[in-house]
Structure 1
Amino acid sequence: MKVGFIGLGNVGGKLSGSLLRNGVDLYVHDLNADFVAAKVAAGAKDGASPADLMQTCDVVITCLPSPAASAAVMAEMLPHVGPGKIWMEMSTTDEAEIKRLGAAVINAGGTAVDCPVSGGCHRADTGNISIFAGCDRPGFDRVLPLLTLMGRRVLHTGDLGTASVLKVMTNYLATVNLVSVCEAMTVMKGAGMDMATTYQAIAMSSGTSFVHETESQLILSGSRDVNFTMDLIQKDIGLFQKLADQRSIPLELSPLIIEIMKDGQQRYGERAQSDRIIERLEDATGLKILADGFPQELIDDEPEERGYEVAAR
């Protein structure tokens, strides 16, 4: 099976690396020629263009920064979709867009799967990230061998589009957790608590979360570089708010979180690292939320293993 991969950024570069590491016949494409050259040096082939990839490969995976970028790439690939071709969308995208583009792929005789990832760039780098997959069951069974090379836990979420809906929910929850843990640690600092002790108290209590156990470490070390930027956060939480608005579901936290992130962008830059949101509170209080002994980057120390399907309860 020949596999094409389009989008070699923070996440896509790592997911495609897992495919290469596991011997997949991989063709790559990105607007950044340096990213392509690095993958070719590691054993991939230069895919030339989205159109060429769809013609050459059995499967083409996209991992792009926005629904607009995915639509532009798909416009080039669609004329070359036919029976047996598979499109796997691993971007965090809009439910309506994945259904629209997926329908075009299916109408041309191909298979479409939305399969976004969750769990952080450090786990994408080791093949230990989690993956949601939305498509019919036969399509899921066809792509599962590839998904288990890129991720540890794979959940079939239902029809096309369901994975993208769940993905924006998880990113919304992660952002709420990030903002709340920033407030918690700032209050503890103001109360005179030791920050390393505060970190451990949260980590071993009912107040812990995946975000605390990962991103809080980068906040405390001063690195504040989680490989995820505020513009991407805004895209994802905006998609979650759109889901609510379309269904007339009144939310209270979501609009507030969007405004907090907008303020962070105005202060620190549109593409500032998302963990720098702690600096709003540091600026307001004069406190520094730092502690010795925490890492400058996240490293996944869980051994890489072949992934598996997780059954919904």
Structure 2
Amino acid sequence: MKIGFIGLGNVGGKLSGSLLRNGVDLYVHDLDADLVAAKVAAGATAGGSPAQMMRDCDAVITCLPSPAASAAVVEQMLPEVGAGKTWIEMSTTDANEIKRLGALVQGAGGAAVDCPVSGGCHRADTGNISIYAGCDRDTFEKVLPILTHMGRRILHVGDLGNASILKVMTNYLATANLLTICEALTVMKAQGMDLGMTYEAMAMSSGNSFVHETESQLILSGSRDVNFTMDLIQKDIGLFQKLADDSGVPLEISPLIIEMMTDGQKRYGERAQSDRMIERLEEATGLEILAEGFPQELVDDEPEERGYEVRPKRLAK
């Protein structure tokens, strides 16, 4: 299969790199010509326009920063969609928008899948990230071989749009966890605890999490560069709040998280790294939340292996 990939930023650049590393016939496009040139140097083919890529490829993957960007690309590709063509959306986007765009693709005779990823840029770089796939089963079977080159664990989540709903939930949880970790580390510092020891205490406890094992290290090293910016956080938690509003669920924590992230953006910039939220507490207390021996960047040390489908153990009948 010829695969197109549109959007070569922090996540898309790494996912497309996994396809190249595994010998996929890959065509690439991005508004940044330098990103395209780098992928071409690594063995990809410059895809030209989105329309040309849909014309030339069996499936086109999009990994873009906003629902508006995805909509603009799909509109360009749509005249070239037909039987045998598949659009795979790997952006974190609005579920209603993916359903709308997917219906247009399906109406033109093609297939559509929403496939957001979860697990951090360091795992996207090694093909060990997790992937949700929302589509009918036949389409899932068709795209699964492609997905297993980019991710370790692949979960078919049912209808188109379901994956996007689940993804914004996971990003909401990750953001809430980040903010509580910032508070926990600061209180422990104020209590005189050694923060290296505190990290290990948290990691072996009931309060442990993926966010702690990864982002706490970047906070404590002083790097605060998780390769994920506050504007993207705001997009994702805003989408989660919209799901709650649409369902009439009266959330209390979510609006506070949005307010806190908005304050972080005002202080450090719209596109500041999300882990810089610790600096709000450092400024408020005069404490330095730092410890020796932690890395400046995250590296996935798990060996790469071909991905596989995860089968839910408790799926409702």
Verify same fold: TM over 0.5. yes
1:110 match: 110
Taking the aligned partners of 1:5 and 1:96, their CA distance within structure 2 comes to: 23
Residues 1:85 and 2:66 are matched in the alignment:
no
TM-score (norm 1): 1.00
Q: CA deviation at 1:312?
A: 1.2
Q: What's the counterpart of residue 74 of structure 1?
A: 74
Identify the residue that residue 156 of structure 2 maps to in structure 1: 156
Measured in 1, the distance between the counterparts of 2:279 and 2:68 equals 31
Q: Deviations over 1:66-119 (max 9, x none)?
A: 000000111100111000000000000001100000000011110100000000
1:218-243 CA-partner distances (Å, limit 9, x unpaired): 00000000000000000000000000
Q: Match of 2:250, as an amino acid?
A: P
Runs of 4+ in structure 1 off by over 4 angstroms are none
> How far did 1:193 drift?
0.2
Which residue does 2:239 correspond to in 1?
Answer: 239
Map of 1:130 onto structure 2 = 130
Unpaired segments of 5 or more residues in structure 2? none
How far apart, CA to CA, are the structure 2 residues paired with 1:139 and 1:16? 20
Counterpart for residue 32 of structure 2? 32
Looking at structure 2, the residues matched to 254 and 91 of structure 1 have their Cα atoms a distance apart, in angstroms, of 22
Aligned to 1:178: 178
Aligned-pair distance for 1:155? Answer: 0.2
Which whole-Å CA distance do the structure 2 matches of 1:115 and 1:107 have between them? 20
Measure, in 1, the Cα distance between the counterparts of 2:90 and 2:58. 16
What letter is aligned with 1:132? Y
Q: Which position in structure 2 is the counterpart of 1:258?
A: 258
Residue 202 of structure 1 aligns to a residue whose secondary structure is helix
Length, aligned pairs only:
313
Correspondence 1:36-75 to 2 at 5 A: 36-75=36-75
Residue 284 of structure 2 aligns with an amino acid whose one-letter code is A
**CA distance in 1 between partners of 2:232 and 2:56 (Å):** 31
Q: Distance between the aligned counterparts of 1:49 and 1:29, measured in 2? A: 7
Counterparts of 2:18 and 2:301, CA distance in 1: 16
Aligned partners of 2:208 and 2:260: how far apart in 1? 22
Quote the Cα distance in structure 1 between the aligned partners of 2:252 and 2:199. Answer: 28
Deviation at 1:16, TM superposition (A): 0.2
Separation of aligned partners in 2, 1:289 and 1:162: 38
Name the TM-score, length of structure 2 as normaliser.
Answer: 0.98
Runs (5+) with no aligned partner, structure 1: none
Partner of 1:305: 305
Q: Does 1:99 align with 2:91?
A: no
Partner of 2:2: 2
Counterpart for residue 198 of structure 1: 198
Quote the Cα distance in structure 2 between the aligned partners of 1:148 and 1:13. Answer: 17
* Partners of 2:116 and 2:196 in 1: CA distance: 34
Per the TM alignment, residue 62 of structure 1 is displaced from its structure 2 partner at its CA by 0.1
| 1:245-284 correspondence to structure 2 within 5 Å | 245-284=245-284
Distance 1:70 1:227 in 2: 21
Paired with 1:66 and 1:189, the residues of 2 have a C-alpha distance of 38
What is the SS of the residue equivalent to 2:153?
strand
Q: Percent identity?
A: 80
Q: Could you give the per-residue CA deviations for residues 113-147 of structure 1, whole angstroms, max 9, x where no partner exists?
A: 00000000000000000000000000000000000
The 3-state SS of whatever aligns with 2:149 is helix
Q: Which whole-Å deviations, capped at 9, do the CAs of 1:37-87 have from their partners, x for residues lacking one?
A: 000000000001101100000000000000000001111001110000000
